[in-house]
Amino acid sequence: MTTRSCLSIVLAAGLGTRMKSNLPKVMHEVGGLPLVGHVIKALSAAGSERISVVTGPDMPALEQLVFKMAPMARCYVQTERLGTAHAVLAAKPALEFEADDVLVLFGDTPLVSAGTVSRVRKALENGADLAVLGFETRRPHGYGRLLIENGRLKAIREEKDASDEERRITYCNSGIMGFSGKHALGLLEAIGNDNAKGEYYLTDAVEIANRNGLKVVAVKGTEIETQGINTRAQLASCEADFQALQRRGALENGCTLLAPSTVYFSHDTDLSVDVTVEQNVVFGPGVQVAKGARIRAFSHLEGAQVGEGSVVGPYARLRPGTVLGTDTKVGNFVEVKNATFGAGAKANHLSYIGDASVGSKSNIGAGTITCNYDGYLKHRTEIGAGSFVGSNSTLVAPVKLGNASFVAAGSVITEDVLKDSMAFGRARQTVKEGKAKQLRARLQSAKDAKS
- 162 and 251, same structural domain? no
Any domain includes 351: yes
Outline where DSSP puts E strands in 16-164. 29-30, 33-34, 50-55, 74-77, 101-106, 130-136, 145-149, 152-157
H or E element that contains 439: helix 435-450
- 271 and 302, same structural domain? yes
Q: Tell me the per-residue pLDDT of 51-91, one tens digit each, with 9 for 90 and over.
A: 999 999 989 999 999 999 999 999 999 988 889 999 999 99
CA distance linking residue 52 with residue 353, whole number of Å: 44
Any domain includes 434: no
Active site residue 349: yes
CA distance linking residue 42 with residue 58, whole number of Å: 26
- 253 and 216, same structural domain? no
- 188 and 317, same structural domain? no
- 330 and 412, same structural domain? yes
DSSP H helices, 70-219, are 84-88, 92-95, 114-125, 164-167, 181-189, 204-211
pLDDT above 70 coverage of the chain, percent: 100
Q: What b/e readout covers 239-256, taking b as 16+ CB neighbours within 10 angstroms?
A: bebbbebbbeebeeeebe
Q: Tell me the per-residue pLDDT of 243-272, one tens digit each, with 9 for 90 and over.
A: 999 999 999 999 999 999 999 999 999 999
- 199 and 53, same structural domain? yes
Q: How far is CA 365 from CA 12, 327, 330, 407, in A?
A: 52, 17, 11, 10
The residue segments making up the domain with residue 402 are: 232-423
- Mean pLDDT (whole number) for 322-348: 98
Q: Which of 167, 195, 220 is the last residue of a domain?
A: 220
Q: What is the pLDDT of residue 428?
A: 85
CA distance linking residue 93 with residue 85, whole number of Å: 15
Nearest Cα to Cα of residue 102 among 92, 112, 114: 92
Burial class (CB in 10 A: 0-12, 13-18, 19+), 292: middle
C-beta separation of 384 from 403 below 8 A:
yes
Q: Which of 220, 248, 280 is the last residue of a domain?
A: 220
- 246 and 141, same structural domain? no
Any domain includes 441: no
DSSP state of 230: -
CATH of the domain at 200: 3.90.550.10
- 300 and 185, same structural domain? no
Q: Which residues contact 126 (CB under 8 A, 6 or more apart)?
A: none
Q: How far is CA 136 from CA 108, 141, 175, 236, in A?
A: 19, 12, 14, 22
Q: How many residues does the chain have?
A: 451
Any domain includes 450: no
CA distance linking residue 368 with residue 354, whole number of Å: 11
Any domain includes 436: no
Any domain includes 437: no
| pLDDT at residue 287 tops 50 | yes
- 194 and 342, same structural domain? no
Q: Output the average pLDDT for the chain.
A: 95
- Mean pLDDT (whole number) for 301-305: 98
Any domain includes 432: no
- Mean pLDDT (whole number) for 273-296: 98
- 252 and 397, same structural domain? yes
- 38 and 163, same structural domain? yes
Which pairs with CB-CB distance under 8 Å and at least 24 residues apart come from 254-261? none
Q: Using CA atoms in the order 162, 165, 166, 167, what is the torsion angle rounded to 10 degrees?
A: 80
Q: What is the DSSP string of 240-286?
A: HHHHHHHHHHHHHTT-EESSGGG-B--TT-EE-TT-EE-SS-EE-SS
187: three-class secondary structure by DSSP? helix
Q: Tell me the per-residue pLDDT of 83-134, one tens digit each, with 9 for 90 and over.
A: 999 999 999 999 998 899 999 999 999 999 999 999 999 999 999 999 999 9
Q: Which of 28, 141, 349, 379 is catalytic?
A: 349
- Mean pLDDT (whole number) for 376-389: 97
- Domain count for the chain: 2
57: three-class secondary structure by DSSP? coil
- Mean pLDDT (whole number) for 212-230: 95
Q: Which of 220, 255, 290 is the last residue of a domain?
A: 220
Residue 1 banded pLDDT, cuts 50, 70, 90: very low
CATH of the domain at 358: 2.160.10.10
Q: What is the pLDDT of residue 2?
A: 55
> Among 236-240, 277-281, 364-368, 447-451, which stretch is predicted with the lowest mean pLDDT?
447-451
Nearest Cα to Cα of residue 281 among 253, 254, 262: 262
Q: Which residues pair with 330 in a beta bridge?
A: 312, 347
- 249 and 206, same structural domain? no
The dihedral built from the CA positions of residue 439, 442, 443 and 444, taken in this order, carries a sign that is: positive
Q: Tell me the per-residue pLDDT of 159-203, one tens digit each, with 9 for 90 and over.
A: 888 888 989 999 999 999 999 999 999 999 999 988 878 889 999
Q: Which residues contact 104 (CB under 8 A, 6 or more apart)?
A: 8, 9, 11, 88, 176, 177, 178, 179, 202
Predicted TM-score (pTM) of this structure? 0.90
Any domain includes 446: no
